[in-house]
Each structure stands twice: as C-alpha cells, then as structure tokens.
Amino acid sequence: MQAKETLFADLVQGRAQQFQVPLYQRTYSWTDKHLKQLWRDILEQAELLEAAEEKASTHFLGSVVLAPSPQNEATFPRWLVVDGQQRLTTLSLALAAIRDHVAASNPDEAERINEEYLINKRKGGNDYLRLLPTQADRPQFAAHIRGSLTDHAICSGIATAYAFFRTKLVEADDPAAPQNVFLIEQAITSRLTLVSVTAERSDNVHRIFESLNNTGLKLSQADLLRNYLFMRLPTRGEHIYETYWLPLQDSLSNDELEQLMWLQLVLDGDDRVRRQDLYAAQQRRFEEGTTGEAEIEAYIRQLHRRGAHFRRLLHPEEEPDQAVRTALHRLDAWQAVVTYPALMLLFDRREQGELDSAETARALAYIESFLVRRMICRIPTNNLNRIFQSVPGQLPLDVPVTDGLHRLLSSENRFWPDDVELREKIRTAPFYQYGRWQQRKLVLQRLEESYGHPEPVDFAAAQLTIEHVMPQSPEDAWLRALAEDAGQEETAEQLHAQYQHTLGNLTLTAVNAELSNHPFGRKQDLLRGSHLEMNRRIAATERWGVREILARADELADHAIALWPAPLRGVGRAERSRDWQLAHQALAALRHGMWTSYGDLAAFLGSGAQAVGNHLANTPRVVNAYRVLTSDGRISEGFRWSTPQEAGSDDVRARLAADGVRFTATGAADPAQRLTAEDLAALLAGSDDDRADGEDTAEDAAVGTSPGQETRAERFFRQLSADDSPVTVEAVRSLFAHWEALGGWIGHGSGHVTTSAYLMLGESGGPGRGIWPMTLYPGGGRGGTAEVVFQYLAAREPFTDRALRAQLLSRLNTLDGVDLPEGKLELRPNIRLSLLEKERNRELLSETLTWFRNCWVNQGSS
C-alpha cells in the first residue's frame, strides 16, 4: 500500500484512465450543506491565488482509496474508488459546470477542461468517462459530462449538485466584483489536497477504509494552541496560567476562546487566515523568530486584555458607555458576527486613547449603516467576511480612526449604497424577501424610533411582528382599489405582486392576526389605536393603494437617510448591476421542468416586466433566459436568441419540452410548473433560509399559552372553520389524531398572521430536535393549505437523501387533485386542505404520513 498527498489535477490528469465506483457503494449523497462548505473553501483558495499568496496553506479535502480494477489494462489503467467517490464526483461536476459556464464565450477553454479532467477523448461507451460512478448514478452523471441533458431525470443528487455550481458561478461572475472563473478552476484542481492511498491487489482495501474513517474526537484549534503555548513555558507556565489563562478560560467557552485567538491573528495583520488554520498560523509566527517565554507571556497577556473587549461583543450589557452599549445591542440583534474584526479594532484603539466613546459610537453607526443599507438594497453578503477581516490591515493611517473607517467602507467594491440608491430601493425592492427576519424587524423598529414619539414603545417587551398593510392574499376589495392605480397593460394582480413586499407596505403591529386580510377600513380602526407613530400615520390615510405605498416609502426613505449615514463621495466607487445579477442567479437556479414569467421575475427584483424583457433580449449568455414566459405561460412574441450559439435550434418550445416543461392542450406551459416571485426568493435562499417574519418556526410551536386564554389549537381550528367546510375541518382533526397515534405531536404557531399547525416528530423545546413533513395554515379567506416543507427536509436526516424527498412527492401526487412538479423539491409547495373532503385522499395522505414516520424512525433516529 502506498499513501501520498496529491492534488485533483495530479490524480486525474495525464494519459487516458478511469476511476470506477464499485456497484456496491452508496449513490451520490452530498447535500446542500456539503456543497456550500466546499464552495466556501474553493472561493477562499481562489482569493489566495488572486492575491498571489501561493505559500498560504492549501485546503485538505480528505482521502481517496484506490485499488486496481479487475478490468485493468496496461494501456488503459482502471482504478476502483474504495473511498472518496463523493469528493471525486463533486469536483468533476464542479468542473463540468465551469466548462459549461465558459462554453459560449471561450469554447477552447471549455474543451480543455473537458479533455484534461472529465473525458477520455479517444474512448467510446463508458470508457469515455474519466470517472465512472455506480450504476444508479451513471446515467445522470454521463448526461452532465456528455452535455446531453435532455434525457436526464431530475430526481438525483447529481443534477442538484451540478445546478448548485451553475448557480454559484453566475453569482461569482458578478460584473461589479467579478471573480476569475479560471482561478476557481485552478483552486479546485491545484489547491484542494487529497491523500491518495493506492492498494495492491493483495491488500485488504476495506480494512484500509475502516482505519481511515475510524477517527476519535478531534482536539479543537484552541486546545492545540493552548497545549503548544504552555509546553513552551517551562518556568513561568503556572503563574501565567493562574493569572491570565484561567480567568480568560472561565469567561469564554472553548469555541469563543478559539474565535478570540483567530481575531487576535487578524488584528495583528493576518487578514487571510482561516479559523481552521489558527493553530498552524500562530505556531508558524512563533517559530519564524526567536520566541522565548517572554514573547509567549506577552501573547497570552494580550489575549487576556482583548478577552474583555470580546466579551462586550458577546454581552453588550457589560459595556459601560450608554451610546456604545446601545449600538452594540443593535449589532448583536442584527447577528453581525462578521463585523467582529472591526469592532475589536475600535475597542483596542479606544483603550489606547486614539478615540473616545463618542467617536466609537459614531464608528459603530457607520458599521450599522453599512450593513442596513446593503440589506435594504439587496446586496449579497458573500463578501462581508473579506471586507471586515481586511479592516485592521487597511485602515488609513493619515486620519482619525472613525474617519478612516468611514473612508475605508466607502471605497471601491465595498458597495455601501448612497442616498439615491437607498431611496430607489425603498420604493421598489421587495424588502420582505431579503435578509433575516430579525434584520427586517430591526429596520422597522429603528424607523419607528426615528419619529421621536413622546411615549416610545418598549420593543423588548412588545410582541411586535411585521404586517403587510395591503395583505399578501388580497380579497376583491383590495384588487378593485389596485385596479384604480393600474396603467396601460397593467393589472391589479401585477401591481399587487410588485408592491406587496416593499417597505412602504410594511409596518409593525401586535395585532397581526386581527388585521389579517381585512379591508383597509377595518385595518384603519385597529391601527388608529396603535402606540406606534407609523401606524397612526397609516390610519390617517383615506385609502391604500400604489400611490399611498410609494408616498409612505418616500417618507420612510427620508427617515432612513437621516438614521443611517451615507458613504463618502468620490472614494472610487464602482458602478453595479446587482439587480440584474440577482435575476441571472435566480434563472441559473431553475430546476428541470420549471419556468417563470416576466412579471414574477420583475416582482422578485422590484423592477418592471418590460424592463426584464428588454434586459433578457439584449444580454447574451443568460442561463435559462428562454424559460421566462408570459404570465399565461406562452413564449413572448418578441423573444429572440441573443446569440446563435445559445439557440442551437430556433424552436424554443422544443427546448422547453426537453427541459421538462409540460404544455397544456391550449399550448401554454403548465401553470403547476411556474415559479412565483416568492418561489424564486426561496430558491436562492436555500434550505437554511429564515422564514419570513409573521410565520412561525416549528421550534416555536411547542410554546404554550397562559391559563384562561384561547389555546393555539383552539385558535387554529377557529380560523380554519372561518372559510373551510365542516367536512374539511373534521378531516384535519382526523389527520391530527392519526399523526398522534403514530407517535407524533401537533405543534401550533403563535399566529403572527394566522396560526399554524406542525406535524412534529421527536422532542420539543429546541431547534434541530424534531422533524416535520408539513405545516398546515388556515386560509384567511382562501381556504386552508398544507405546506410541504421539502426545502427544510433537505437539511434533516434521513431526508437529506433527495430520493426520499422525491418519494414523498410521488406519494403526495397520488392524491386526486395534487400534481406537484419535481422542480418543487427545492421549495415549499402547498396543497389545498379541501382535497381531504375525499375519503380516498384522506387514506392516501395517512399512508404517506405513516411512511414518513417509518423512514424517520428506521433511518433518522436512534
């Protein structure tokens, strides 16, 4: 047996060869969680290449165990992949995605990638593939490598991983801050290290596999560094441990201590160090020079001093200055961990006397503004780590600290929106669909505070949630009012989609459920009694339509501009095309069989349908542009392929059909396969997306109610009975009884908009302790629905296996009236509860829930 460190390029490049995954191995099973972590590692290595830091540590990806295949030939080596097939398959799919990403603009490079890493050019049949997966995955993988995607099924992890990388490459190709796609390729092939274990025919490869994977509990980076430090303190160790280390260790958890050690490296100028490389980086620093006990002691004393600063970030109430404390509380509520390097720098400089508390509070206001304005303007957060980690090393030295931070954050490629952009986005962007729910709530809270009400609300005690003034499910009265504002070729439904989630239509209230979908007149009465100034102003408005929403947006923009300082002008800001980049990312993320409309894409962007059409018509190489159709599912009369290479064939309908889009007898695309603006937002957010504020989480569902109050279960059935038939209500009660007989329990949400019911398995009382297949909602005038939470199941065992989620979808589709397309496996589709009026549907759903419970018990729990 031979073991050596290698790179993906060294492993697969060279003469024709093949890596075969044995038939007995499991199918490809990497989930979104694994892919996201790998992508972060790839981008990190690409950034190191861009910065010409070749000496920086590479990323260790894991091991690959190979053995000669029984089909081995002297002129065509074949290897069995005993361990490592998931890594090899994923890297191959990432390279296939890069190949396809550059194919139209750089076909020679696409061909090079294909021949170097993916295919054996002069071989035929299965030998054409350099990696040959197990039989179950082979057709999927071959379709992506050969480029013949027309006949591939979508129910596979292979297709999901390929689509993930296509979407991320579009995101990385942002014209405002483009990342070199060939550096990403180089990072994959030459910066991700593997340990290749090559066995002889006589070796027991399974014993090797067992030894490699049977590892014990790893020491943390903090453990390793602590051991290293005190081994180098033979005479002063006990004193330093008791005086500095023990108090530090008692005040921070091990994870927090590790984070502090990493921050110390960043503050000392190492702005590229990764937390997982903390031990190696600090060890290298100590061993580069002459380091004795005095230097080790100085390091620990510095760590102890900065530990007090770090605790204030974790516990803002320990900060003595009120203005600084208030600012820290807001950043803590924002969950702004990414800003810690800059915050630690400010506390360090304040302790050294370079700025006082008033200047510190002003600097914190710049940081808050930077985060809030970017969030309102929907600027992706993927570069925030790099921005704030670079602050200690890039802060200007020729101006005071606070002014230097203002200048640095205003500089080119930091993308701090100015007043003009902020005002425009407050008017047009769907604020409710971006950022975390607590961030959205904090923005509205700050706006309310800015009115300076003489009796301000105690936000810590108030149970406030976000309310849509014009509701998300408007009744006819709302649509008639919107029709009054419609221009030529506009409908009330289009205006509703465009403005429902904008900031001008949102407020805070403690009576969200009472407001619900009532007409504006009824909402006025409730809002008039509110303690919030913004609600009283809404109540004083005679009607509520597009004009009023835009007028309120302008008013809120005035307050936002006063609240959150603007960047400096003339520091070298780059022009951006962020909104169109979001459109490109959304289209690249479309799954097989899915389509969207110009209006849906426009509502997602906060743009207009005509502008979307013009952009797609005039922008070459937008992935899946032909899958944007009119609202009735037809190909736009003005659609043209932007380049001959994109077309291949002029028959758009044939291309759509090949992509799995079904057509009705009238020639329109199947509306069941259409993705709305909300679907597009969820698709980009991924499985770790926060639910919108106003919706409950399953982890909150076990919270009880006070004695004497209407219980959540009573409230759920009261609201369900309001617009569903008694037969439907009784069917839901029977469904709950069946679920409880299976050993499950029903959790009810707190009812921010309406209440909800979760079909839960497992323990209550904490995140991650249970699993649920669907959430039931009363209809609020439109009939109750059951939301099937495929998006959340994708992160919960055993349903991280996409085949299991597909089986759940297939079982649900046996219900009469249910036809969920497979593209919805990434989302949270709804089915009508009224379908349960049919006895056969009740039986089929009960059987499906029994199957779900058995899957979880047998595979996902102990």
Look up residue 464 and give its amino acid. L
User: Structure pTM?
Assistant: 0.73
**pLDDT recorded at residue 188:** 96
Q: Which architecture, in CATH terms, is 578-684?
A: Orthogonal Bundle (1.10)
- What proportion of the chain, given as a percentage, has pLDDT over 70? 88
Of 420, 457, 367, which Cα lies nearest the Cα of 557?
420
Q: Which helix (H) or strand (E) holds 396?
A: none
Q: Please state the separation of Cα 794 from the chain's center in Å.
A: 13
**Residue 3: is its pLDDT beyond 90?**
no
Coil, strand, or helix at residue 65? strand
Looking up tokens 């609240």, which residue turns up?
563
**pLDDT recorded at residue 210:** 53
Q: Which of 210-214, 497-501, 693-697 has the highest mean pLDDT?
A: 497-501
Q: Which of 34-38, 54-58, 337-341 has the highest mean pLDDT?
A: 337-341
Structure tokens at 757: 């019911």
Of 382, 370, 307, which Cα lies nearest the Cα of 344?
307
What is the C-alpha to C-alpha distance for residues 374 and 689, in angstroms, rounded to an integer? 18
For the chain, give percent helix, strand, coil, nearest 5.
55, 10, 35
Beta bridge partners of 748: 757
Q: 572 or 365: which carries more pLDDT confidence?
A: 365
Of 195, 169, 201, which Cα lies nearest the Cα of 93?
169
**Beta-strand (E) ranges in 751-821?**
757-762, 770-771, 774-777, 785-788
Looking at 56-60, 70-74, 104-108, 766-770, which range is the least confident one? 766-770
Alpha carbon separation from 468 to 432, 435, 535 (Å, rounded): 9, 17, 12
- Residue 570: which pLDDT band, with cuts at 50, 70 and 90? confident
How does pLDDT run across 191-202, given as a tens digit for each residue? 999 988 888 766
**Residue 261: is its pLDDT beyond 80?**
yes
Q: At how many degrees (to 10) do helices 254-267 and 293-314 cross?
A: 110
- What proportion of the chain, given as a percentage, has pLDDT over 90? 49
What is the C-alpha to C-alpha distance for residues 600 and 497, in angstroms, rounded to an integer? 8
Range 82-104 average pLDDT: 94
What is the C-alpha to C-alpha distance for residues 362 and 443, in angstroms, rounded to an integer? 18
- Residue 708: which pLDDT band, with cuts at 50, 70 and 90? low
Looking up tokens 């439109």, which residue turns up?
782
Structure tokens at 636: 């736009």
**pLDDT recorded at residue 151:** 44
**Residue 722: is its pLDDT beyond 50?**
yes
Of 439, 236, 235, which Cα lies nearest the Cα of 330?
439
**Residue 846: is its pLDDT beyond 60?**
yes
Mean pLDDT, the chain, rounded, equals: 86
How does pLDDT run across 383-412, given as a tens digit for each residue? 898 899 989 988 988 899 999 999 999 987
Looking at 215-224, 573-582, 671-680, which range is the least confident one? 573-582
Of 567, 547, 543, 565, which Cα lies nearest the Cα of 555?
547
Beta bridge partners of 629: 597
8 A C-beta contact, residue 747 and residue 702 = yes
Alpha carbon separation from 604 to 118, 625, 669 (Å, rounded): 37, 15, 20
Of 781, 559, 582, which Cα lies nearest the Cα of 685?
582
8 A C-beta contact, residue 90 and residue 30 = yes
**pLDDT recorded at residue 431:** 95
- Residue 372: which pLDDT band, with cuts at 50, 70 and 90? very high
Phi, psi (deg, nearest 5) at residue 192: -105, 110
**Which DSSP letter does residue 126 get?**
G
- Residue 690: which pLDDT band, with cuts at 50, 70 and 90? very low
Alpha carbon separation from 356 to 324, 331, 352, 359 (Å, rounded): 10, 19, 10, 5
Looking up tokens 């008013």, which residue turns up?
555
CA dihedral (414, 419, 420, 423) positive or negative: positive
Coil, strand, or helix at residue 862? coil
**Which DSSP letter does residue 129 get?**
B
Residue spans per domain, the chain: 2-213, 221-419, 420-563, 578-684, 695-860
Alpha carbon separation from 496 to 226, 375, 506, 854 (Å, rounded): 59, 22, 13, 43
How does pLDDT run across 436-490, given as a tens digit for each residue? 889 999 999 999 999 987 777 888 888 888 999 999 888 888 999 999 999 888 8
**Residue 694: is its pLDDT beyond 50?**
no
- Residue 129: which pLDDT band, with cuts at 50, 70 and 90? very high
Q: Please state the separation of Cα 256 from the chain's center in Å.
A: 24
How does pLDDT run across 134-165, given as a tens digit for each residue? 888 899 899 999 986 654 445 578 988 999 99
